[in-house]
Amino acid sequence: MNSTDATARAHATGFSLPRIKVSLARLQAIALTSDALAPLLAGLCAEVIFSQHVAIAPDAGRAVGVAAVTALLFILLMRSCGMYGIEVLTSRHRQLGRLILFWTTAFAFLGAVAFALKIVPLFPRMFIAPFFACGLALVLAGRYALAACIQRALAEEKIAGPETALIDCCSDALSGTTSAELKRHGFQVSRSFEVPRQATREDLMRIADNVVKAVRGSDIQQILITTDCETLRFVRPILSKLQLAPLPVRIVMNERTTEFFTVQPQRIGKLSSFEVQRPPLSGTEQAMKRALDLCVALAAVLLLAPLMFIIALLIRVDSPGPSLFRQQRNGFNGRGFRILKFRTMNVMEETGEVQQASREDPRVTRVGRLLRKSSLDELPQLLNVLNGQMSICGPRPHAISHDDYYSREVANYASRHKLKPGITGWAQAHGYRGQTLTVDDMARRIEHDIYYIEHWSLWLDIVILLRTAVGIFRAKNAF
């Protein structure tokens, strides 16, 4: 069904979708919820039918228990075979055979387990038969209804797909249809970069640099590179530069090029995309790290609130000025945010060239010297963590003027923005705190930051917290 036919049918039936856009992730969640509810409703219906047949009270516990196990098996089978991809969800005929197969497989597996555990008598035929039939009917009905809604949503451009930066390396034949095909399947191409057919390596490096600058600080969620057999040679030089961006990168190809690849592609209509760079953390890993951040930050704020109040009071008594100091910093993917610290100096350098604190620095106040030595001046950043701008552990955010300078002097400096900045980090846990006197000092700090990004785990965050706590009492470079 093309977009024009779907739109015409929607108007003819008097049915139109709301004006709001729905994300692809939400559509997949709706499909998963539908697949989970279908066995539950089928189990309850089967229990009612069975109870009326034998004239006893319905056993809701049995119905819910059987339905829950069946739903889990069914959804696991569906997910493992890619049944929640947008291309499958929009096609009713592609789902029919697989839905019947997976529902029957889950049902048969449940029966085999019941037989092995010798609990078959608990599931009489007058319960099993209606459960199988009702469940299959509800699964098919839910998927068919969802497919119809998604088709109309695509036709009316109501699908809010991921914001995308497109690097077009294709020949003219494919280039003319790529953007239209992506748009038809909900992708929002925010920025587009065209690679000339006779591009030199210098041209490719310049284009890749422009892409990294464009996505930094933006809401773009992924980068797509369209290519074919003639332009595959352009991809590797571009990818070498795109490693500075903390975004997934996918290669999009036509059907003639796809046959050369054995990796499982993600379908976008008639196109195929291959992920060649994954983000530093998967969705699950991001959720785990965020959960740790929230738990630690909330607990610390609650426990240290009295201490923070006393520190704020001492700062006001010791020198004129506010207790808190705010300064612009670059965070995840170069997005700017205002970092919070307890004020430790008589000056408030918020913009322009920022001079690092040095030993016996006259700008540091009496209370400030103690706060910087013990790192207590960083405590207000717990609020940055709760606000989602920072993490408990991660590369320390530097002043913007330092970012500008060291990004020119240290290779891969920009890679440290692939994760949220942290209150403490792997570099700080190894003693790299305070003033950096030379470019080599910063380079060693960046090496530790990149190691952390490439080897992140919850255990590594816990190790950093423990080493940081011990290191506070041995601080030599903080002044």
Residue whose C-alpha is closest to residue 417's, from 386, 433, 394, 388: 394
Question: Please, are residues 355 and 402 in contact by the beta-carbon 8 Å criterion?
Answer: no
Residue whose C-alpha is closest to residue 232's, from 249, 269, 264, 257: 257
> Which conformational region is residue 358 in: left (phi greater than 0), alpha (psi within -120 to 50 degrees), or beta?
beta
Burial category of 473 from C-beta neighbours within 10 Å (exposed 0-12, middle 13-18, buried 19 and up): exposed
Q: How far apart are CA 472 and CA 404, in angstroms?
A: 29
The predicted pLDDT at position 1 comes to 42
pTM reported for the whole predicted model: 0.60
Q: How many CA atoms lie within 13 A of 66 on its CB side?
A: 28
Residue whose C-alpha is closest to residue 185's, from 167, 160, 164: 160
Residues ≥6 apart with Cβ < 8 Å to 406: 398, 413, 439, 442, 446
Question: Please, are residues 271 and 227 in contact by the beta-carbon 8 Å criterion?
Answer: no
Backbone dihedral angles phi then psi of residue 289, each to the nearest 5 degrees = -65, -40
Q: How far apart are CA 45 and CA 318, in angstroms?
A: 73
The predicted pLDDT at position 123 comes to 63
Burial category of 227 from C-beta neighbours within 10 Å (exposed 0-12, middle 13-18, buried 19 and up): buried
The predicted pLDDT at position 353 comes to 55
Backbone dihedral angles phi then psi of residue 79, each to the nearest 5 degrees = -65, -40
Mean pLDDT, consecutive 10-residue stretches, the chain (479 aa), reads: 44 48 76 89 84 70 81 85 78 81 84 69 72 90 88 75 83 60 75 85 89 88 83 84 86 67 66 77 85 91 92 88 88 90 75 56 80 86 93 91 86 87 90 76 90 90 88 58
What would the 3-class secondary structure string for the chain be? CCHHHHHHHHHHCCCCCCCCCEEHHHHHHHHHHHHHHHHHHHHHHHHHHHHHHHCCCCCHHHHHHHHHHHHHHHHHHHHHCCCCCHHHHCCHHHHHHHHHHHHHHHHHHHHHHHHHCCCHHHCCHHHHHHHHHHHHHHHHHHHHHHHHHHHHHHHCCCEECCEEEEEECCCHHHHHHHHHHHHHCCCEEEEEEECCCCCCHHHHHHHHHHHHHHHCCCCCCEEEEECCCCCHHHHHHHHHHHCCCCCCEEEEECHHHHCCCCCCCEEECCEEEEEEECCCCCHHHHHHHHHHHHHHHHHHHHHHHHHHHHHHHHHHHHCCCCCEEEEEEECHHHCEEEEEEECCECCCCCCCCCCCCCCCCCCECHHHHHHHHHCHHHCCHHHHHHCCCCEEECCCCCEHHHHHHHHHHCCCHHHHHHCCCEEECHHHHCCCCCCCCCHHHHHHHHHHHHHHHHCCCHHHHHHHHHHHHHHHCCCCCCC
Q: How far apart are CA 121 and CA 144, in angstroms?
A: 35
Q: Would you mind telling me the total number of residues written for the chain in this entry?
A: 479
> Which conformational region is residue 431 in: left (phi greater than 0), alpha (psi within -120 to 50 degrees), or beta?
left
The predicted pLDDT at position 349 comes to 57
Domains of the chain plus CATH, in order, are: 3-155 (no CATH), 161-277 (3.40.50.10700), 283-472 (no CATH)
